[in-house]
Copies of this chain bind each other. A is one copy, B any other.
Amino acid sequence: MSHNTFGHLFRVTTWGESHGAALGCVVDGCPPGIRFTRAEIQADLDRRRPGQSRFVTQRREPDEVKILSGFIMDDDGETMITTGTPVSMMIENVDQRSKDYGEIARQYRPGHADYAYDVKYGVRDFRGGGRSSARETAARVAAGALARKVVPGLAIRGALISMGKKSIDRANWNWDFVRDGENPFFTPDPASVAVFTTYLDGIRKSGSSVGAVIEIVADGVPAGLGAPIYAKLDQDIASNLMSINAVKGVEIGNGFEAARITGEQNADEMRIGNDGQPVFLSNNAGGILGGISTGQPVVARFAVKPTSSILTPRRSIDRDGNEVEVVTKGRHDPCVGIRAVPIGEAMVACAIADHYLRHRGQTGRV
Give the chain B neighbours of A228 by CB distance below 8 A. Answer: 3-4, 85, 113, 117, 131-132
**Min CB–CB distance A18 → chain B (angstroms):** 10
**Identity of the chain B residue whose Cβ is nearest the Cβ of A139 in the assembled complex:** B229
**Identity of the chain B residue whose Cβ is nearest the Cβ of A357 in the assembled complex:** B361
Give the chain B neighbours of A278 by CB distance below 8 A. Answer: 115, 317
Find out whether the CB atom of B255 lies under 8 angstroms from the CB atom of A361.
Answer: no
Find out whether the CB atom of B13 lies under 8 angstroms from the CB atom of A86.
Answer: yes
**Min CB–CB distance A7 → chain B (angstroms):** 9
Supposing A17-B69, A238-B250, A363-B121 touch, asked if A4 and B116 sit within 8 A by C-beta, the answer is: no
Q: Does A211 contact B (CB under 8 A)?
A: yes
Encode A236-256 as 1/0 by CB contact (under 8 A) with B: 101100110100111111111
Give the chain B neighbours of A165 by CB distance below 8 A. Answer: 260
Give the chain B neighbours of A104 by CB distance below 8 A. Answer: none
Encode A259-284 as 1/0 by CB contact (under 8 A) with B: 11111111111111000101001001
Find out whether the CB atom of B230 lies under 8 angstroms from the CB atom of A3.
Answer: yes
* Interchain CA distance A266-B161 in the complex, whole Å: 20
Residue A33 contacts which of B108, B123, B223, B230 (CB distance < 8 angstroms)? Answer: B123
Give the chain B neighbours of A307 by CB distance below 8 A. Answer: 263
Supposing A16-B69, A262-B209, A266-B305 touch, asked if A26 and B26 sit within 8 A by C-beta, the answer is: yes
Which of A52-60, A174-182, A291-299 faces chain B?
Answer: A291-299
**Identity of the chain B residue whose Cβ is nearest the Cβ of A116 in the assembled complex:** B292
**Min CB–CB distance A171 → chain B (angstroms):** 21
Find out whether the CB atom of B69 lies under 8 angstroms from the CB atom of A1.
Answer: no
* Interchain CA distance A292-B84 in the complex, whole Å: 13
* Interchain CA distance A314-B15 in the complex, whole Å: 44
Give the chain B neighbours of A235 by CB distance below 8 A. Answer: 1, 239, 242-243
Find out whether the CB atom of B317 lies under 8 angstroms from the CB atom of A267.
Answer: no
Find out whether the CB atom of A262 lies under 8 angstroms from the CB atom of B208.
Answer: yes
Encode A334-360 as 1/0 by CB contact (under 8 A) with B: 000100000000000000000001111
Find out whether the CB atom of B271 lies under 8 angstroms from the CB atom of A323.
Answer: yes
Find out whether the CB atom of B268 lies under 8 angstroms from the CB atom of A111.
Answer: yes
Find out whether the CB atom of B256 lies under 8 angstroms from the CB atom of A303.
Answer: yes
Q: Does A187 contact B (CB under 8 A)?
A: no
Supposing A251-B248, A357-B361 touch, asked if A26 and B1 sit within 8 A by C-beta, the answer is: no
Q: Does A120 contact B (CB under 8 A)?
A: yes
**Min CB–CB distance A142 → chain B (angstroms):** 14
Give the chain B neighbours of A362 by CB distance below 8 A. Answer: 3, 9, 29, 31-32, 84, 357, 361
29 contacts between A and B (CB under 8 A): A2-B28, A3-B28, A5-B230, A21-B66, A83-B124, A84-B123, A111-B263, A116-B291, A117-B228, A119-B223, A120-B224, A120-B225, A132-B228, A208-B263, A209-B263, A211-B259, A211-B260, A232-B243, A238-B250, A239-B239, A249-B250, A249-B252, A249-B255, A249-B258, A256-B256, A256-B303, A258-B305, A262-B306, A263-B312
Beyond the given A116-B293, A259-B304, could you list 10 further A-B residue pairs with CB under 8 A, ordered by the A residue number?
A: A13-B13, A13-B28, A85-B125, A85-B131, A113-B228, A121-B363, A270-B316, A357-B362, A360-B360, A360-B361
